[in-house]
Chain A
Amino acid sequence: MIAERFMVLIIVLYLALLFGVAWWVQKGLKPGSSWVANRWIYALSISVYCTTWAYYGSVGKAASDGISFITTYLGPVIFMPLWFWLTSKMIKICRQYRITSLADFISSRYSKSSFLGGFVAVFCVIVIVPYIAIQLKAIGTGYDILVGNQQQNALNISSSLLGDSNFYLTCILILFVILFGTRNIETTTKNHGLISVVAFEAVVKLIAFITVGCFVCFYVFDGFGDLFEKAGQRADLSRLFTLQPQQSNEWFTGLALAFLAMLFLPRQFQTAVLENNSIQHVKTSTWAFPLYLLAINFFVLPIAIGGKLLLENNVDPDTFVLTIPLEFGNYGLAAFSYIGGFSASTSMIVVSTYALTNMTSNNLVMPLIARSDNKETQISSLLLLTRRLGVLIILLLAYLYQRLFADNSSIVSTGLISFVGVVQFAPATLLGMYWKDGNRKAAIASFAVGFTIWFYMLIIPNMASVGMISEDILTNGLFGSELLKPQSLFGISHLSTVTLCFMISLSLNLLTYLSVSIFTAQSAIGQQQAELFVNVDNYPASGDGPSVWKGTAKTDDLKQLLNRVLGEVGAANAVHHYERIHGDWQAGNQGDSNRISYVETVLAGAVGIASARILISSVAEEEDLKLEDLLTVARESKELLMLNKQLKSQSEVLERTTTELTTANARLKMLDKEKDLFISTVTHELRTPITSIRSFAEILYDNPDLSSDEKAEFLEIIVRETERISRLISEVLDLEKLQSGTVKLALSEESITHLIADAVASVKQLAIEKNLTMVNEAVEHDFLARIDRDRLTQVLINLLSNAIKYHDKENGVIKVKASTEGHQLVISVADNGPGMEREQYEKVFQKFYQIRKKDNIKDKGVGLGLAISRSIVDLHGGNIKISSVIGAGTEISISLPTLI
């Protein structure tokens, strides 16, 4: 046994740690976001689903009923994809309409009914308080076991309150929830501190349980094989490995029950829906949460079997995770295991209490306050007080329940009763999200039916067994009718009471909901809310949605209302946010329904939808809502969405057009620059010959006594320069014609060999002058091609004269060749001249570009020759290539695809 002081110390330290974590997270918060708001914290917080039921109770159930215990956890796993869609839609709805709890959700969907909200709140308290109580009990029992106390006789009410450790614990938990759960007026703000503690405890309980599991399997026994073999030798244990007939009947209902409960347990709604920060997190949880469940359930059956094998028969299997380590003297592990169970229990208590107090304050108490509002009281402080009182009352109720009744109920059975209870919300809520015709009357009726059956079949027997009512009703049935015995209604006795209750209550619940909806009408506000819920995607997010408020309200009244509920700062923030979107707060006529609707939504985040509605109607004069108004709003919002889409696509088109225009503009500018360059170059080229002509003309005129030699020389220069001008002009025109595509080639079948021979002949004289040798190697084989004779000759002459012009060696050689490469005709002109730099290969084809020769003597040409040649070759569909080695020579080759 562990010393009591030591246990107390451990517990106190752990609690301090939890407080510390919550406080640290809360402190480190930046407004609006937090690193804590990540997908893993979210996934862990959902595992608040695993309470002492998972930690202690499952082992107990496994020890008696074998593998069928797993349905509670397998259920959610199987339906995970479905869970995703339902939860996502709920999240969207809650975010958009500032819903603060499950009661709020249901109340809001069904005509913002405060009655329905209150009903749900009360029902939840009734259903969940026992569940909280058994968590407390588990803590107490575990403590007693570790410390070695005889279990206190709980029915002895004279045993002092102060002597009961559970009482102290309850007080501490009250403090915790108040500190971290009732800070903000607006319950729609996320509780990062609270949630991080829950996530932390989720990790602790998982590790603790797995540690104990490993201890049992691998330390005490020699692995799974050993464990199962030893169990197989005992009949009472080997039957645990298979499903017994009754269990297999109830297998599937067990799965369905667990799944539906998982959706509607207040603590699940809180962590999975209300505290969610992003739909992406929900996606991660669809696989992360099942894995967590797998991990924590993996060792349940082994521990159960192990305990049965190791311990006496009178040891409660629920406590195996503690008693097995104790049996082996491993106090450290036992304490650690206890902390795990402690975590499982406290996280459930904290979250559930928080959820319940929000429900009661917003949906039970607030509407009453709102109705009797005297327009003076500061509602914000009243609200906080209500919430804190709520925490106090709920936890004290749980404590009392635990003291009075808990002895008689096992963890699992109490848990199952709560499960069937919350499942009653399922038809109205789920159908309410997808079927617009579900109305308020139907919801009330379905709850009434479900609740009654639940109460009759599950609560009455409990009450009878503790002696609150006579046992007659169990044995004889209601009104003495055998068919109405609570535990086997309608005479069905082959199913367990829980399963039977689940099936009957759910089916009657559903049936009632559907029939009442079909046969009754819905109010206008009901239709509006139905539309907003079912078609939540059609409406813009976050509170500035379309409103069907018809009425007037003074702006000052609205502002005052905000002050009273949110406090000065909160009101100012709300107004500021409004102004950012809609403009001036004061502007617009008093009938501005946008403003009224906005205020209503903001208030809802604090006091719940129903109360908000009541408060607003106290300052506004409402007119009767008609169906046309609703339809107008729906139509308008659809139009808006459509216009928005159109606008988007139009702006895309606009963007594309702009890009195209920009490109076109850039090209035009470039062409413009080219044109400018062209003009300036041409005029520049013209200047030089004109200068010469003018100078010499003047000289000839002014100096009549020139020698005839000089006269001849100067006149010749004039003539030459005139020719140069003409050549320039005609080449420019020629190039322009070629490049603009106005030239049509005069194609004919020609002998290439002849063409080459003619070209060579024309330039022969030039070559001789420079002492160069022309070699025509295109004589052996004759090629025929379809080409423009004159043009191609022009090209050849250009290439040849370039080669001659730029040759720098004495006795240099220029070769002309012709050959075929595939279908191409290749003509090349090669020389052993100075060669060309690589950068110049392209440049030489540019207009007016001339390579400076070594002796810097200006060339007589214009610089357009190669440009023209290239154009001509291009028109033939071929291309020109240059290859050269500096100092060794150059080869220019033309390839034409016009071979015959």
Chain B
Amino acid sequence: MVKLNSDITKPEKLSVLIVDDEPNILLSLEFLMKKNNYQVFIGRNGKEALETLEQHPIDLIILDIMMPEVDGLEVCRRIRENAATQSMKVIFLSAKIKQEEIDAGYAAGADLYITKPFSTRKIMAEVKNMLS
């Protein structure tokens, strides 16, 4: 269960969590988020993602699906189960492009599913849209 530490006051910046086991993705997205003035957290797999969620309030999460330990779908489900994080925005970013996989992503509770390779411009536009 993801707990929210109520002692931490809400920061002014919106925070984004990027989760992917591919370092390059983390690098590029982190750069883009920082440039757009978001606070960025990263996780290299689902387990790290869940740990981070416990410690910080996150506004939007970009999730890869194929990761070791805990995969993206599982993370999304847990986010949705937890009342505190229910309203968090979830974007799936995955190389799984089959229709049934996309459907599974939405079924797990995602707000958006983007396939790789992706356009950085597009993803930033979506993020800005969701967080405004």
Q: Which residue of B lies closest to A852 (CB)?
A: B68
Task: Check B99 for interface membership: any CB of A closer than 8 A.
Answer: no
Chain A residue contacts of B21, Cβ below 8 A: 856, 858
Task: Check A690 for interface membership: any CB of B closer than 8 A.
Answer: yes
Task: Check B131 for interface membership: any CB of A closer than 8 A.
Answer: no
Are B25 and A695 within 8 A (Cβ)? yes
Are A692 and B68 within 8 A (Cβ)? no
Chain B residues 74-132 with CB under 8 Å of chain A are: 95, 116-121
Pick the most buried of A695, A714, A856: most chain B CB atoms within 10 A of its CB: A695
Task: Check B56 for interface membership: any CB of A closer than 8 A.
Answer: no
Task: Check A719 for interface membership: any CB of B closer than 8 A.
Answer: no
Are B95 and A687 within 8 A (Cβ)? yes
Are A717 and B119 within 8 A (Cβ)? no
Task: Check A696 for interface membership: any CB of B closer than 8 A.
Answer: yes
Across the interface, B24 reaches (CB within 8 A) one of A702, A717, A856, A857, namely A717
Across the interface, A688 reaches (CB within 8 A) one of B29, B95, B119, namely B95
Chain A residue contacts of B24, Cβ below 8 A: 691-692, 695-696, 717, 721
Are A687 and B44 within 8 A (Cβ)? no
A766 CA / B120 CA spacing, docked (Å): 34
A710 CA / B27 CA spacing, docked (Å): 11
Chain A residue contacts of B11, Cβ below 8 A: none
Chain B residue contacts of A691, Cβ below 8 A: 22, 24-25, 95, 116-118
Are A702 and B116 within 8 A (Cβ)? no
Chain A residue contacts of B29, Cβ below 8 A: 695
Task: Check A295 for interface membership: any CB of B closer than 8 A.
Answer: no
Task: Check B2 for interface membership: any CB of A closer than 8 A.
Answer: no
Chain A 838-861 per-residue mask, 1 if CB under 8 angstroms from chain B, else 0: 000000000000001000111000
Are A688 and B35 within 8 A (Cβ)? no
Task: Check A656 for interface membership: any CB of B closer than 8 A.
Answer: no
Q: A688-B22, A692-B22 are in contact. Are A856 and B117 (CB under 8 A)?
A: no
Are A694 and B119 within 8 A (Cβ)? yes
Chain B residue contacts of A699, Cβ below 8 A: 28, 31-32, 120
A244 CA / B8 CA spacing, docked (Å): 133
What total of A-B pairs shows CB separation below 8 Å? Answer: 57
A858 CA / B69 CA spacing, docked (Å): 14
Task: Check B15 for interface membership: any CB of A closer than 8 A.
Answer: no
Chain A residue contacts of B28, Cβ below 8 A: 692, 695-696, 699, 714
A694 CA / B123 CA spacing, docked (Å): 13
Task: Check A744 for interface membership: any CB of B closer than 8 A.
Answer: no
A698 CA / B28 CA spacing, docked (Å): 10
Are A698 and B119 within 8 A (Cβ)? yes
Chain A residue contacts of B119, Cβ below 8 A: 694, 698
The minimal Cβ–Cβ distance linking A805 to chain B, given in whole angstroms, is: 16
A771 CA / B25 CA spacing, docked (Å): 28
A694 CA / B68 CA spacing, docked (Å): 24
Task: Check A684 for interface membership: any CB of B closer than 8 A.
Answer: yes
Task: Check A703 for interface membership: any CB of B closer than 8 A.
Answer: yes
A721 CA / B116 CA spacing, docked (Å): 15
Q: Which residue of B lies closest to A717 (CB)?
A: B24
Across the interface, B25 reaches (CB within 8 A) one of A692, A702, A714, namely A692
Chain A residue contacts of B27, Cβ below 8 A: 717
Are B44 and A702 within 8 A (Cβ)? no
Chain A residues 668-705 with CB under 8 Å of chain B are: 684, 687-688, 690-692, 694-696, 698-699, 702-703
Chain B residues 30-72 with CB under 8 Å of chain A are: 31-32, 35, 44-45, 68-69
Q: Which residue of A lies closest to B93 (CB)?
A: A691
A721 CA / B25 CA spacing, docked (Å): 12
Chain B residue contacts of A696, Cβ below 8 A: 24, 28
Q: Which residue of B lies closest to A687 (CB)?
A: B95
Q: What are 7 A-B interface contacts by the 8 Å CB criterion?
A: A690-B117, A691-B24, A695-B24, A698-B121, A699-B28, A699-B120, A858-B21
Extra 6 A-B pairs, beta carbons < 8 Å, given A684-B95, A688-B95, A691-B118: A687-B95, A691-B25, A692-B22, A695-B24, A856-B44, A858-B23
B residues near A (Cβ < 8 Å) are: 21-25, 27-29, 31-32, 35, 44-45, 68-69, 95, 116-121
